[in-house]
Amino acid sequence: MSRIDAIYPADRITLREVGLRDGLQIARSHPATEAKLNWLEREAAAGVRHFEIGSFLPAGRFPQFADVGAMIEGAERHDLHSAALTLNERGAEAAFATAIREMVCVVSATEEHSEANMRRSRGDAVDLVRQIAARRDAEAPGKIVNAGIAMAFGCSLAGDVAHDEVLRLADACLEAGADIVGLADTVGYAGPKAVGELCARMSGVCAGRPFIIHLHDTRGMGVANAAAALDNGARVIDASLGGLGGCPFAPGATGNVVFEDIVYLAETMGFATGIDLDTLKTARRIAEEAMPDDDFHGALHRAGPPQNARWRA
Amino acid sequence: MSRIDAIYPADRITLREVGLRDGLQIARSHPATEAKLNWLEREAAAGVRHFEIGSFLPAGRFPQFADVGAMIEGAERHDLHSAALTLNERGAEAAFATAIREMVCVVSATEEHSEANMRRSRGDAVDLVRQIAARRDAEAPGKIVNAGIAMAFGCSLAGDVAHDEVLRLADACLEAGADIVGLADTVGYAGPKAVGELCARMSGVCAGRPFIIHLHDTRGMGVANAAAALDNGARVIDASLGGLGGCPFAPGATGNVVFEDIVYLAETMGFATGIDLDTLKTARRIAEEAMPDDDFHGALHRAGPPQNARWRA
């Protein structure tokens, strides 16, 4: 079994909880490490196994991720799959010194966003994926290299993004040694038609290997987009507890697609998640208490699943 | 052209705004008639043409619908298509005395809900549709008779509901003289798989005639369910401004699927709505001011559609 099949099996779906990373990126509240560990452990008790738990970014500019080491240790204590954003050489250096199980690189779909966000060209971003994958092969063969294509459904700087261009970059990342590629609707431009079409073509590029869909609910399309992705071959979905995350380009906007609602969606579509919704609700309460200045979203947590009818397909 | 084709053309989609009816049914705030007329007029200015504007229910028990006559006159002044709930003989008597353009009858998918909600059997409910349609034929041939199948995707009293049973009732309503039938996910049990499957079969039963899908966002599936409905032949969608509506069986739950978000969804899927989202936002503000004690939902109104990219498919 290959490294990637052991972590993200192609024959079932995996939900990645990104609240502790993307959910904190532009958050107003910065929860204490202890609260974050409680949140992680509570979600683990609910059956969640895949977490983005932080970022290897400068602690000066991103103090909410200064405890990434403690978060990795917390994940290891419970044998959880931990992932962290690894955006540059310094971040990679830090990552290899830890037990982090997955390094998340980002390649922007547009040159404009790549330069503005990471001060490097898309070509250089793919080269960084190549360097990290090579070092991984040499030093830490168990670690996963994940390459996320940001702005894959439209860019707040460049506007329209052609599917061909996204698929070309996804292919380049795989060729550079990434184990898995993600398609990110970073600013929530997509509708289900675009998501379905790009995922169907992505299934071809990945040739049986899983790929990730990373959705933002900025315009309320998150769950519909996830359904379209599942209908068209996506088997790994990013979501955040309570839909934490916001959008840097739309103040007050809703954030990542809501984890709880995605669990319900997947189960109604016949994809078993192994996640218990009641326990997840208690994790949500921990996060809400730890982040009093941030908005939580979603609907499932209010009503709960139907009590008297079959809702798992 | 038949009566129904003139109102709900089969070759395009129609969004029905039900906020002034279903949105007020269990609302805490009861907006004044003037505010409701402003709301109606503002949405008309945005391009909305189809409204449920009230209910022919006893004003004693439902004071929020006591002004149904004034609402019908308001709709007529702007040549809008008005519909109102017509649940019994007394309601029908009242309806025929007005200029209401569409009478909305309800047939429950389950015997249990039919008896509990309307104190009559499903057979008697279909017979009421037949009586109303007959009187319409004789006295008011321009009026539309709409029969909504409540609890079509699961019932808070009876649990699971078989698709076969829903289709049998839909067929019975059409045979009884209804011009159009609706499938209502009254308590928000459905996911997109169930909605897609039932809508695909419903397209067969309706044989080219349009049918309505009425969705509640109780568990966050509303937009995904609307996408599945559109993908499987539904061409008329109910939604309420700001997702007003709640759920009588889940206090605090989200309500009808959000009108603004459905406009965005439809446009991204290539279905032109003719509705202007900026103007709709001003209508939402009128409703929010008139209903200070109720929760408004949705995401599109926060971020607005993308400014620099094509979002209409």
pLDDT at B247: 82
pLDDT at B248: 80
pLDDT at B15: 98
Chain B, 140 to 169: residues with Cβ < 8 Å from chain A are 154-161
* Mutation site for A-interface testing, chosen from B186, B215, B223, B297 by largest number of A Cβ within 10 Å: B223
Does A302 contact B253 at a Cβ distance shorter than 8 Å?
yes
Residues B206-228, mean pLDDT to the nearest whole number: 96
Contacts with B119 (C-beta within 8 Å, 6 or more apart), sequence order: none
Where are the extended beta strands (E) located within chain B?
14-17, 50-55, 81-85, 102-108, 144-150, 180-185, 212-215, 236-239
Residues of A in contact with B190 (CB under 8 A): 268
Give the pLDDT band of residue A263 (cuts 50, 70, 90).
Answer: very high
Closest-CA residue in chain B for A246? B303
Contacts with B117 (C-beta within 8 Å, 6 or more apart), sequence order: B106, B108, B150
Please write the tens of the pLDDT for every residue from A95-149.
Answer: 999 999 999 999 999 999 999 999 999 999 999 999 999 999 999 999 999 999 9
* % residues pLDDT > 70 (chain A): 100
Number of separate helices (H) and strands (E) present in chain B: 13, 8
Residues A224-253, mean pLDDT to the nearest whole number: 94
The alpha carbon of residue B184 and the mean position of all alpha carbons in its chain are separated, in whole angstroms, by 8
Please check the confidence at residue B1 and state whether its pLDDT lies above 80.
no
Size of interface A-B (CB pairs under 8 A): 160
CA distance A128 to chain B (A): 29
pLDDT at B212: 98
Chain A, 4 to 63: residues with Cβ < 8 Å from chain B are none
Average pLDDT over chain A reads: 96
pLDDT at A247: 82
CA distance A295 to chain B (A): 13
Give the pLDDT band of residue B249 (cuts 50, 70, 90).
Answer: confident
Contacts with A302 (C-beta within 8 Å, 6 or more apart), sequence order: B218, B250, B252, B253, B254
Residues A1-19, mean pLDDT to the nearest whole number: 92
Q: Which residues of B are catalytic?
A: 247
Residues B206-230, mean pLDDT to the nearest whole number: 96
Q: Does B305 touch chain A (CB under 8 A)?
A: yes
Q: Which helix (H) or strand (E) holds A214?
A: strand A212-215
Please check the confidence at residue B96 and state whether its pLDDT lies above 70.
yes
Give the pLDDT band of residue A2 (cuts 50, 70, 90).
Answer: confident
The beta-carbon neighbor of B189 closest among A187, A190, A309 is: A309
* Mutation site for A-interface testing, chosen from B151, B268, B284, B295 by largest number of A Cβ within 10 Å: B268
Does A191 contact B269 at a Cβ distance shorter than 8 Å?
yes
Give the pLDDT band of residue B208 (cuts 50, 70, 90).
Answer: confident
Contacts with B160 (C-beta within 8 Å, 6 or more apart), sequence order: A309, A310, B154
Q: Does B223 touch chain A (CB under 8 A)?
A: yes
Please write the tens of the pLDDT for every residue from B182-196.
Answer: 999 999 999 999 999
Chain A, 233 to 292: residues with Cβ < 8 Å from chain B are 247, 250, 252-254, 258, 260-261, 264-265, 267-270
Does B223 contact A219 at a Cβ distance shorter than 8 Å?
no
CA distance A86 to chain B (A): 29
Contacts with A82 (C-beta within 8 Å, 6 or more apart), sequence order: A51, A52, A53, A71, A72, A75, A76, A99, A100, A101, A102
CA distance A307 to chain B (A): 8
CA distance A259 to chain B (A): 11
Residues B70-95, mean pLDDT to the nearest whole number: 97
Please write the tens of the pLDDT for every residue from B113-145.
Answer: 999 999 999 999 999 999 999 999 999 999 999
Contacts with B199 (C-beta within 8 Å, 6 or more apart), sequence order: B183, B211, B213, B228, B229, B232, B233, B234
Q: Does B228 touch chain A (CB under 8 A)?
A: yes
* % residues pLDDT > 90 (chain A): 96
Please check the confidence at residue A1 and state whether its pLDDT lies above 80.
no
Please check the confidence at residue B221 and state whether its pLDDT lies above 70.
yes
Please write the tens of the pLDDT for every residue from A30-60.
Answer: 999 999 999 999 999 999 999 999 999 999 9
Please check the confidence at residue B2 and state whether its pLDDT lies above 90.
no
Q: Which helix (H) or strand (E) holds B268?
A: helix B259-268
The beta-carbon neighbor of A302 closest among B159, B252, B264 is: B252
Does B228 contact A227 at a Cβ distance shorter than 8 Å?
yes
Q: Which helix (H) or strand (E) holds B128?
A: helix B122-139
Does A219 contact B299 at a Cβ distance shorter than 8 Å?
yes
A21-to-A244, A280, B124 alpha-carbon distances in Å: 10, 18, 57
Q: Residue A74, class by beta-carbon neighbours within 10 Å (0-12 exposed, 13-18 middle, 19+ buried)?
A: buried
Q: Which domains does chain A have, with CATH numbers?
A: 13-303 (3.20.20.70)
pLDDT at B283: 98
Residues B86-105, mean pLDDT to the nearest whole number: 97
Sign of CA dihedral B105, B107, B113, B116: positive
pLDDT at B54: 97
Residues B281-301, mean pLDDT to the nearest whole number: 97
Residues B279-293, mean pLDDT to the nearest whole number: 97
pLDDT at B274: 97
Q: Which residues pair with B236 in a beta bridge?
A: B14, B212
Give the pLDDT band of residue B250 (cuts 50, 70, 90).
Answer: confident
Could you give the 3-state DSSP secondary structure of residue B32?
coil
Q: Of A298, A263, A240, A254, nearest to A39 (Cα)? A: A240
Q: Of A85, A77, A84, nearest to A40 (Cα)? A: A77
Please write the tens of the pLDDT for every residue from B32-49.
Answer: 999 999 999 999 999 999
Task: Look up A173 and say whether it is catalytic.
Answer: no
